[in-house]
Structure 1
Amino acid sequence: MAGERHRIITIANQKGGVGKTTTAINLATALAAIGERVLIVDLDPQGNASTGLGIDRRDRKLSSYDLMVGDRGIPEVTLETAVPNLFIVPSTMDLLGIEMEISQQSDRVFKLRKALSSPEAMAFSYILLDCPPSFNLLTMNAMAAAHSVLVPLQCEFFALEGLSQLLETVSQVRRTVNPRLDIQGIVLTMFDARNNLAQQVVNDVRTHLGDKVYHTLIPRNVRVSEAPSYGKPAILYDLKCAGSQAYLQLASEVIQRERQRLAA
């Protein structure tokens, strides 16, 4: 589905360990499960999204590095996953050197946008960009290419502090390189209902950001944590666990927001 149904969403947070890649994998799987054609672009040199979808390192002949600097197109760098309708541009350690290679080029922040403007990229209804846990040239490329940003936020004490920095970054990108960029939503992750602090964080974030925050809370869940070691999204590993069910709900909310955007 091209045109208006084609959406590029950056999944970003400069903090590590907030459930960013887990969210990318499971949101993509949930969207694919309801018939959307979905592509993940793994922009983290660690390659956790690729590993979590069962892509062996030996099979990553080409990667997001080649997409951005190697003049390779989407068909050449894209691999099928075990999930029907879900594809991935994998990551390799080559990405570690990309900043040095392109930092002097005038179009350095638009490399990914150019790569994702092809007809083959437009054929995906959703493209999810999984960013590294830092604000660097890879994240900048992702934000320059995207329509919106989805922010996973761990239910912990310093959550709001880190979030304000990220929101300022989004504003800066909007002012300088991508006026269309907006916040698709903020998803609260690793929620533990037994923890009073977690509930306080939820209340604080909702008070400050209102309906930018998804209703869905992603719980701390052992099955979700185990799934990547089997090279599977949690939704394939254990569909009935609380974490999988939460990601299905999140996908429903993402689609609902997109419908509201189209209707506006």
Structure 2
Amino acid sequence: MAKIIAIANQKGGVAKTTTAVNLAASLAILKKRVLLVDLDSQGNATMGSGVQKNELTYTVADVLLGDAPIEAAVTKSEALYKVLGSNRELAGVELSIAEQAEREFILRDALKQIEKSYDFIIIDCAPSLSLITVNALCAADSVLIPMQCEYYALEGLADLCQTIERINQTLNPDLEILGVVRTMFDGRNALAKDVSAELENYFGKKLFDTVIPRNVRLAEAPAHGLPVIYFEKSSKGAVAYLNFAAELMKKVKQGAKA
């Protein structure tokens, strides 16, 4: 049965999609069966996986609308994982499903049909608390929070934690925070160090030890439609995400034993 992880943060620009794509690629390199679900109408995770978003026969929008079975919408990526892609068609889906019964659970029910085929299902959420994002949180076992070490990101983190708690209490009692990963980290920055220390105090063991640094290759890779490990495997960004995937696998395994 797949471990379903929603990568979420209501604040944009925290390397959420970068984390989704590179975590999926790194887990696949580590011999795990991985599906990446793109739940952002911008389709950046789709394109960053080498999949042409506007050439897809079916997308996650078709799955949510009931116009295509999920098996038909899953496609191969340029890497070793598979993708349930997205494009601008997703932008209109929320209005279409808003009046449906059990509308928060459409994605959950779709993923149940295929979850036995994967070890990990990674969901890249849009930076907003929309009905589509609620679908992701209702489908997931846990939430991974990418966090840039700056003041405004720290403020947004409190809001996100409240949102996760509300979803846990009302719609998905199994939902929990898997952990927080520090992204775009610059150890020369005093504020970054201060925020990092606050995160350590607040989250304790929920804060991943692996830190994702600011890295030029990480920024360049999406333009080539590749995860960074396929673009420049020796780069600091590629090594960091590979280490992060290994740490995440260990954390998930320990959680399963608990």
TM bucket normalised to smaller: over 0.9
Distance (Å, rounded) in 2 between the aligned partners of 1:246 and 1:234: 10
Match of 2:257 in 1: 263
Match of 1:22 in 2: 18
Match of 1:152 in 2: 146
SS in 2 for 1:18: coil
Match of 2:68 in 1: 72
Cα displacement (A) at 1:57: 3.0
Match of 1:205 in 2: 199
Match of 1:89 in 2: 84
Task: Flag the 1:262–1:121 CA change in 2: closer, same or farther, 3 A.
Answer: closer
- Deviations along 1:220-250, one digit per CA (max 9) or x if unpaired, are 0000000000000011101111111110111
1:108 aligns with 2:103: yes
Superposed counterparts of 1:84-233, under 5 Å: 84=80, 86-118=81-113, 120-233=114-227
1:48 aligns with 2:44: yes
Match of 2:27 in 1: 31
Distance (Å, rounded) in 1 between the aligned partners of 2:206 and 2:256: 17
Q: CA RMSD in A?
A: 1.0
Identity %: 44
One-letter identity of the residue aligned with 1:98: V
Distance (Å, rounded) in 2 between the aligned partners of 1:47 and 1:57: 6
One-letter identity of the residue aligned with 1:198: A
Distance (Å, rounded) in 1 between the aligned partners of 2:210 and 2:115: 29
One-letter identity of the residue aligned with 2:32: E
Structure 2: state its 5+ residue gaps.
none
* Cα pair 1:185 1:213 within 8 Å, conserved: yes
Structure 1: state its 5+ residue gaps.
none
